[in-house]
């Protein structure tokens, strides 16, 4: 073996490897463009959500019963003769007793749709929730030993909803066979800052259980959550969206996900959360939103995540293509110019930019097919021009077509993408090792 030839081949391999690594620069530039388009896309989604409705959290209902406490404060004082005196001062303080439902049943239907702005689509939904149950009131004296007067006539029922701007309709509160109108606000401060309330009449200490029912229709985006306020909370949810992602502190007890949508059922006891069924609002600072459950309307094959994943395979495409041309050089004793390697690498890198441009206007599968076909044919034609061989141009065409086909299926996978990608790398390496095991250096 000729030492000079060995040195020349090594130098050539290092230069070509450097060119391959240099292709990371256009790949990074493509990734920057993808990130910029993703940021623009997210901005548009936020704008649409701001108009249509944010992600919603449905809370409640909560029954608030105001009462007055009589507080006697003893103050010690000393007169000019040094005699100690005790002065008792009586204060009357307004408090609010908070009662959560005994049994709570919520039936939720989600109707999803897309809202468009420019070239971007945003997945949104309309929630139709029917809420019913009952309150089992314990004596307010059990909450405070200083109760002076219970203001039953000022009692009200509050319902929390994150984005009240997106409310389409709320039916009147059905309370023991009578209807009461809802008004804005919850009057609960930071405990439940946004929502609406109604003031049912007829509450008294003589009756301990009251039944209620109402319905809410509101818009929202991306996700819906609810809180489990009942001693026993049962929630049924259905939608035609086939890709739910159940989230929160507790998952559904039962669920069914089909191509035509999903159904889910939660049964949640109050022991699962960290606040009681009744307390005094001014004396306890419970986080009523800390225990949530619900669903995200998940889009499994998100456009920009697919393109980002495909760009990560870009250097592999460049390396495999360059290795194939190196094998041609060693077998046919014809050297390609370094500029030709660079142009082939740029063509491979531009595939991802073409894919991004087309996929924002076409279905991803169609955009991928068009971008891959354009890239493969362009490089195959260039190969024929360089090597003057239809067979070798066909080999390059077949190699790239196979790689792009494998990449397409990798991008469509969700749970097994990493496993299949690793298997692909091992398979390619094994094939290259087999093909190059009998290569011999040119002694001349």
- State the pTM of this model: 0.71
Q: Does the pLDDT value for residue 1 go beyond 50?
A: no
Same domain for 320 and 245? no
The pLDDT of residue 90: 72
Tell me if 48 is assigned to some domain.
no
Lowest mean pLDDT among 54-58, 76-80, 142-146: 76-80
Residue 44 and residue 118 in contact, taking contact as beta carbons nearer than 8 Å: yes
pLDDT one-digit tens code per residue, 372-389 = 899 889 888 888 888 777
Average pLDDT over residues 69-85: 71
Kindly state whether residues 289 and 307 are assigned to the same domain: no
- Give the count of beta carbons closer than 10 Å to the beta carbon of residue 436: 12
Residues 167 and 187 in one domain: yes
CA-closest candidate to residue 406, choices 395, 393, 417:
417
Contact, 359 vs 367, CB < 8 A? Answer: yes
In a domain, 34, yes or no: yes
Using 50, 70 and 90 to split pLDDT, how confident is the model at 4?
A: low
Same-domain status, 115 and 129: yes
- Judge whether residue 72 has pLDDT over 70: no
What is the residue whose two structure tokens read 């005699």? Answer: 83
Our separate counts of H helices and E strands in the chain read: 8, 19
Does one domain contain both 322 and 293? Answer: no
- The residue out of 297, 327, 342 marking a domain boundary is 297
| Average model confidence (pLDDT) across the chain | 84
In this structure, are 246 and 134 located in the same domain?
yes
CATH label of the domain that carries residue 292: 2.60.40
Residues 20 and 138 reside in one and the same domain = no
Total domain count for the chain? 2
Asked if 289 and 398 count as a contact pair (C-beta separation under 8 A), the reply is no
Assign 443 a pLDDT band (cuts: 50, 70, 90): very low
The residue from 280, 297, 314 where one domain ends is 297
pLDDT digits (tens, 9 = 90+) for 392-401: 788 778 878 8
Residue 63 has pLDDT above 60, yes or no: yes
Query: Within this chain, do residues 150 and 250 fall inside the same structural domain, yes or no?
Result: yes
Which pLDDT does position 341 carry in this prediction? 82
Same domain, 20 and 143: no
Q: Residue 85: is the preceding peptide bond cis (ω within 30°)?
A: no
Residue 38: strand, helix, or coil: helix
| Res 388: pLDDT | 79
Angle between helices 390-412 and 314-332 (to 10 degrees): 160
For the record, the structure tokens of 250 come out as: 């507790």
Higher-confidence position of 275 and 93 = 275
Q: For the ranges 178-192, 215-229, 244-258, 424-438, which has the lowest average pLDDT?
A: 424-438
* Cβ–Cβ under 8 Å, residues 210 and 102: no
Same domain, 211 and 238: yes
Query: Among 231-235, 284-288, 317-321, 327-331, which is the least confidently predicted range?
Result: 327-331
Q: Among 345, 354, 393, which Cα is nearest to 372's?
A: 354
163, part of any domain: yes
Element (H, E) at 11: helix 3-22
Given a cut of 90, whether residue 331 has pLDDT beyond it is no
Domain membership of residue 235 (yes or no) is yes
How confident is the model over 111-120, as a mean pLDDT? 81
Residue 443 lies in a domain: no
Residue 444 maps to a domain: no
- Which of these ranges, 158-167, 210-219, 309-318, 330-339, has the smallest mean pLDDT? 330-339
Q: Which residue has the tokens 């292709």?
A: 23
Residues 311, 423: Cα–Cα separation, whole Å: 18
- pLDDT band, very low/low/confident/very high, at 18 (cuts 50, 70, 90): confident
Q: Among residues 270, 297, 324, which one ends one of the domains?
A: 297
Q: Is residue 38 part of a domain?
A: yes
Collect all residues with Cβ–Cβ distance below 8 Å to 270 and sequence separation of at least 6. 100, 228, 230, 231, 232, 233, 277
Range of the domain at 199: 55-297
Distance from C-alpha of 113 to C-alpha of 263, rounded to nearest angstrom: 18
Q: Are 14 and 305 in contact (CB under 8 A)?
A: no
Domain shared by 255 and 270, yes or no: yes
Considering the chain, what percentage of its residues have pLDDT values greater than 90?
34
* Each residue's pLDDT tens digit, 227-281: 999 999 999 999 999 889 999 999 999 999 998 899 999 999 999 999 999 999 8
More confident residue, 322 or 169: 169
Residues 74 and 103 grouped into a single domain = yes
């Amino acid at each position: 073996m000729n030492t000079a030839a060995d040195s020349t081949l090594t130098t050539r391999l290092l230069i070509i490897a450097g060119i391959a690594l240099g292709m990371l620069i256009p790949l990074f530039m493509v990734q920057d463009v993808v990130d910029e388009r993703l940021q623009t896309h997210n901005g548009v989604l936020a704008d649409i959500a701001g108009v249509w409705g944010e992600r919603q959290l449905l809370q409640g209902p909560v029954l608030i019963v105001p009462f007055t406490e009589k507080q006697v404060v003893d103050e010690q004082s000393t007169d000019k003769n040094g005699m100690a005196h005790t002065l008792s001062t009586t204060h009357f303080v307004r408090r609010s007793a908070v009662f959560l439902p005994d049994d709570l049943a919520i039936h939720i239907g989600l109707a999803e749709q897309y809202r468009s702005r420019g070239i971007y689509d945003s997945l949104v939904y309309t929630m139709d929730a029917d809420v019913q149950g009952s309150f089992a009131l314990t004596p307010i004296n059990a909450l405070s030993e200083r109760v002076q007067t219970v203001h039953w006539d000022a009692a009200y029922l509050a319902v929390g909803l994150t984005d009240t701007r997106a409310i389409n309709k709320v039916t009147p509160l059905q309370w023991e066979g009578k209807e009461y109108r809802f008004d804005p606000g919850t009057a609960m401060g930071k405990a439940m800052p946004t929502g609406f309330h109604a003031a049912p009449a007829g509450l008294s200490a003589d009756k301990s259980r009251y039944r209620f029912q109402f319905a809410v229709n509101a818009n929202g985006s991306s996700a819906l959550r609810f809180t489990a306020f009942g001693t026993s909370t049962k929630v049924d949810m259905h939608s035609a969206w086939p890709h739910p992602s159940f989230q929160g502190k507790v998952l559904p007890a039962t669920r069914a996900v089909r191509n035509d949508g999903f159904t889910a059922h939660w049964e949640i006891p109050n022991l699962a959360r960290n606040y009681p069924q009744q307390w005094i609002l001014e004396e306890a600072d419970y986080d009523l939103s800390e225990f949530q459950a619900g669903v995200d309307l998940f889009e499994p094959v998100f456009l920009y995540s697919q393109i980002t994943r495909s760009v990560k395979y870009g250097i592999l495409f460049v390396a495999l293509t360059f290795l194939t041309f190196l094998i041609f050089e060693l077998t046919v004793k014809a050297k390609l110019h370094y500029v030709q390697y660079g142009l082939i690498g740029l063509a491979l890198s531009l595939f991802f930019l073409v894919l991004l441009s087309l996929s924002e206007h076409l279905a991803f599968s169609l955009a991928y097919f068009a971008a891959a076909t354009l890239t493969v044919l362009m490089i195959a034609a260039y190969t024929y021009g360089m090597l003057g061989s239809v067979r070798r141009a066909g080999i390059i065409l077949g190699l790239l077509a196979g790689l792009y086909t494998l990449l397409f299926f990798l991008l469509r996978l969700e749970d097994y993408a990493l496993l299949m990608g690793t298997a692909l790398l091992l398979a390619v390496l094994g094939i290259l090792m087999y093909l190059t095991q009998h290569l011999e250096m040119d002694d001349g």
